[in-house]
Structure 1
């Protein structure tokens, strides 16, 4: 199995409304996202996927939506409080790193060429804390 990884960065704010400590307060992170795709063999162009194509796909469908956004769970109190915020990314769940990586996987998987799989995602919320997602259904 061959794999390639492209790394992205973005800035975003969030709050975990049901958190019992400081994370319930509005705060931000410098996120780092690793996107790894794989296949058994390179394609006719001798690549799994051109890095530039992978960059464009992830940038347009994920990073542009999240970068410099306020990520919030779509609940009435948030809708009322943050209705006038400029760039809100509304989520069905609390915007934890775990839920974020699951959303990213859901978005990216169907957009990849048929010859490659989304093997894994790693999203760093801080320098020392990350969530790892691995595709067990290749």
Structure 2
């Protein structure tokens, strides 16, 4: 019988970015990305949910200690991206367009090595209250 439980941790960070393709001219970038291609950037109050799924441990009853998960998100995501310009201030997005999709994938890759490999993990990133992405889908 499947005894898996999903646990979630929600954190927030604020960051600026610009969506654009450097190989395109400004008109093409604006046509594709709209106001998000503003050369002076724009910002979001991101809301991040990290989901870890597994069987609770016999000795603790935890799938994962939520304090440990919170500390991992703070250390590997919030400290790295909060109040930063993703395009200019982070190595991860120097060459990668910081779309919500890419941000979620990067966050997953930053956290996955620190989560028990026996557990499944998923990242949900809200760029706005109505726009969000999940990785893996």
Name the structure 1 match of 2:134: 132
Larger helix fraction of residues: 2
Name the structure 2 match of 1:3: 6
Unaligned runs of 5+ in 1: 73-81, 83-87
Determine the C-alpha separation between the residues in 2 that align with 1:126 and 1:114: 31
C-alpha offsets along residues 115-135 of structure 1, whole Å, 9 cap, x if unaligned?
A: 4231x1110111110111136
Name the structure 1 match of 2:103: 100
After TM superposition, the score normalised by the length of structure 1 is: 0.80
Determine the C-alpha separation between the residues in 1 that align with 2:85 and 2:114: 25
**2:56 matched to 1:42?**
yes
Larger strand fraction of residues: 1
Determine the C-alpha separation between the residues in 1 that align with 2:119 and 2:67: 15
Unaligned runs of 5+ in 2: 22-28
After TM superposition, the score normalised by the length of structure 2 is: 0.81
**Pairwise CA RMSD:** 1.4
Which 4+ stretches in 1 moved above 3 angstroms? none
The counterpart of 1:13, out of the listed 16, 28, 37, is 16
* Aligned-residue offset at 1:113: 2.6
